[in-house]
Amino acid sequence: MNGSTRHVPVMLQRCLDMLAPALAEPGAVVVDCTLGLGGHSEALLATFPAARLIALDRDPSALKLAGERLAPYGERATLVHAVYDELPEVLDRLGTPRVQGVLFDLGVSSMQLDEADRGFAYAQDAPLDMRMDQTTGISAAEVLNTYAPGELVRILRSYGEEKQAKRIVEAVVRERAKEPFTNSARLVELIRDALPQAAKRTGGNPAKRTFQALRIEVNGELQSVERAVPAAVKALAVGGRIAVLAYHSLEDRLVKQVFAAGAANTAPPGLPVVPERYQPRLKLLTRGAELPTEEEVAENRRAAPARLRGAERIREHIEDTA
C-alpha cells in the first residue's frame, strides 16, 4: 500500500486555512517539520502554487516514500533528513533565515504504526525497536532491559501518564532478569498480567500508555519539541504563521507555553508606554486548542486525540535580529 492511499492527514483543511494568509505571496517558504508520508506537504504544494516547501523527517523510509509522492512538484520541494529541532541548522544551510509558514504534526506517523516490524504498535508482535530513525540511537528493548527501575517508573509516569507505573516496572524488572525483552507481545502480556482488573477496564488497550512512554523516551520527543517550537517561532517572518498538531497533553502543554509567552506583554508593570521590546511578538490564532470534528474522527480514528494550536508573528523581537 502506498502513502497516498493509506494516509489521511489530520485536520488538513483547518491547517491549510490557518496558514493560507501567510502563503499567498510568490516566493513564500513553508516548512513541514514532520513530513511523514507527505500528506500535509502535498496539500501545501497543491493549495499554494506560489510557495516553496522545505520538509524534514528523521525517518529515511518516510523520506523515500514522500519523495516519490512529491516528485511531480520538482524543485518546489526540498526534503531533508533531520529531526525537527535541527530546523535552525537546516534553514541556515539552505540560506533561508526567515520563512512564512511552519507546520508540525507531532507524534508517531501512520507509516511507523502500520509497518509491523518497527515495534510501535502494541496490537501486533514485533521487535521492540520504536526508533523513528533506525540508523541511530537506542531501541525500546534496550531501554526496558538496561534502565534502572526508578528511571523506568519516571518515564512511564511522566511520558505515559501511567498510574500503575510502579507495578508494571516491578514486573519488567522481574522478567528481564530471566530473559531480556526483545518483542512487543511479551511486554503487552506482562502489562495485562500486572494491572489490577479495574485498570484494565478503562481507556482501551492497557499497554497503550507504556508504549507511548517508551516511544517518547527512545526518540527524545519532548526535548525535541521543547527546542523545535521556539526555534520555529524565531524563524517566522513578520506575518508568518505556525500551526502545531499535538497528540498528548505533554506536547500540547509545551506548545501552549511557547505561544503564550510569545503573545504576552513582558513590560514591567506601571509603564505609561510599553516599549517595542516588551510588546507581544505573536498573535494567537486559536482560542485554546482546536479539536477535530466528529466526522473527521469517524473517518480517521488516529485524529481523535489531536489538538491544534496556531500563532502569527506580528513583530520582530529585539534578540531575533541581534
3-state secondary structure of 81: strand
247 in a labelled binding site = no
User: Is 112 annotated as belonging to a binding site?
Assistant: yes
- Residue 246 grid cell: 499535538
Range list of H helices, 87-207? 87-93, 110-114, 140-146, 149-160, 165-178, 184-194, 197-200
Task: Give the three-class secondary structure for 307.
Answer: strand
> Is the separation of the CB atoms in 54 and 75 below 8 Å?
no
Q: Are 53 and 45 in contact (CB under 8 A)?
A: yes
84 is in an annotated binding site: yes
Using DSSP, state whether 156 is helix, strand or coil: helix
The answer to whether 173 and 232 have CB atoms below 8 angstroms apart is no
Using CB atoms within 10 Å of the CB of residue 177, give its burial: 0 to 12 exposed, 13 to 18 middle, 19+ buried: exposed
Angle between helices 149-160 and 165-178 (to 10 degrees): 140
* Residues tagged in the binding site annotation for S-adenosyl-L-methionine: 38-40, 57, 84, 105, 112
Q: Which residues are annotated as a binding site?
A: 38-40, 57, 84, 105, 112
